Structure 1
Amino acid sequence: MKALTLYTNPQSRGRIIRWLLEELHVPYEVKVLQYGPEVKSANFLALNPMGKVPVVTHGDVIVTEAAAICAYLADQFADKQLAPKPDSPERAAYYRWLFFAAGPLEMATTAKAYNWRIDADNAQAVGCGLYADTLNALETALTNGPYVCGEQFSAADVYVGSHIEWGMMFETLEKRPAFIEYAQRLQSRPAAIKASQLDDALVTASAVS
């Protein structure tokens, strides 16, 4: 098996990938990078010129961007069934909501956090459109089953669910009943619990040192 390494910081979107790796039950190494000079070092910029985590290396392959990493790992470990089969109708929902969260949802919640103006005058030109429209669209993803692909839990749930949980935590996402129930369902998964414990332990260790 090719060596699998996660470059992360426990207080970053790297938590998404840590959770996914725990769902996959595959061996991996973790390299924790501190914010500041470490993530902007020449060695790390060779992996990701953005100087941001998470990054995954899989043998000689480098993958950046959390949504892309989720899609890549689910396909590389297809036997773990964290993505619908390519010829299934559910594959469309998988792609749709994975990249909806990476695009419109992240943009809408970021705009909410920083009070960026998105209104009737400019919404047509903005990828997320109006904030309420983005949330209404997201809610439809949760109407066809316990997960965004219906009955099958997938890597898309790891990504979408993380954004929903954080959005509600930081008050950039309305606490709608559908969002609360979905987040609770996901966070009760053993892999989600273990991933959170592992990253929380790193935060504690960093504070002590």
Structure 2
Amino acid sequence: MADLTLYTNPMSRGRIARWMVEETGQPYEAVILPFGPAMKAVEYRALNPMGKVPAVRHGDVVITECAAICAYLADTFPEARLAPPNNARGNYYRWLFFAAGPLEAAVSNRSLGFEVPDERRRMIGYGSFEDVMDTLEIAVTTNPFVAGQAFTAADVYVGSHIGWGLQFGSIDKRPAFVDYLERVTDRPAYRQAKKKDDEAMQEER
């Protein structure tokens, strides 16, 4: 049995975790949980009290939340070179958690039809959707990858958000975003993860 277990559903943010696990090159077991009772069962809530996927179990360690999963796996398997050296992690942390905070919040609110009134922008972390999109463009154009010259776990997370946003129209289709997405998804691990999730999705139907 693999020491690494991924709890996921192919129609969820679990796709981010699957891609990240594939990037590590480690053997793993994937447990596909259908939406509904299985995710809310006592057994699974012992791993993730939110009753949501993804979650990763590595030995006795359990990690939930996609940004945390990406950071944990990058640190745990340094041979995969998915995190910069400790003294060069400024942009790596900045953009990884920018995507987990302002980007996801702004896109989610826009998708739900919620617009922050101009006079209340200072009350919300991301300010405005337009500010977030402009900042995201800086993240993906300053260097080839968000942390610098090399692909990292931050690109898995940022790239996943941009990919979904472009697919569903919740992120502006700017040329910079399209070009960046092409760069970060041109990887064997991404293609393998996508193939496995697409196959699992067909089995679920």
- TM category (shorter chain) comes to over 0.9
TM-fit CA distance, 1:20: 1.0
Aligned-partner Cα distance in 1 for 2:122–2:134: 16
C-alpha offsets along residues 58-107 of structure 1, whole Å, 9 cap, x if unaligned? 1011111000010000000012110001122xx01000000000000000
The SS at the match of 2:6 is: strand
In structure 2, the residue matched to 1:179 is 177
Aligned-partner Cα distance in 2 for 1:119–1:104: 16
Query: What's the RMSD between the two structures over aligned residues?
Result: 1.2
Gaps of 5+ in 2: none
1:5 corresponds to 2:5: yes
1:115 corresponds to 2:116: no
Which residues of 2 match residues 95-114 of structure 1 at below 5 A?
Answer: 95-114=93-112
Paired AA for residue 173 in structure 1: I
How many residues align? The count is 205
Gaps of 5+ in 1: none
TM-score (norm 2): 0.97
Aligned-partner Cα distance in 2 for 1:2–1:22: 14
In structure 2, the residue matched to 1:204 is 202
TM-fit CA distance, 1:23: 1.1
TM-score (norm 1): 0.95
The SS at the match of 1:30 is: strand
In structure 2, the residue matched to 1:60 is 60
CA contact (8 A) 2:5 2:57 kept: yes
In structure 1, the residue matched to 2:75 is 75
Which residues of 2 match residues 187-198 of structure 1 at below 5 A?
Answer: 187-198=185-196
Greater percentage in helix: 2
Aligned-partner Cα distance in 2 for 1:150–1:178: 16
The SS at the match of 1:43 is: helix
TM-fit CA distance, 1:2: 7.6
TM-fit CA distance, 1:119: 2.6
Aligned-partner Cα distance in 2 for 1:64–1:23: 18
1:49 corresponds to 2:49: yes
In structure 2, the residue matched to 1:17 is 17
CA contact (8 A) 1:2 1:59 kept: no
CA contact (8 A) 2:10 2:201 kept: yes
Identity over the aligned pairs, expressed in percent? 51
TM-fit CA distance, 1:150: 1.6
Aligned-partner Cα distance in 1 for 2:169–2:120: 23
CA contact (8 A) 2:151 2:184 kept: no
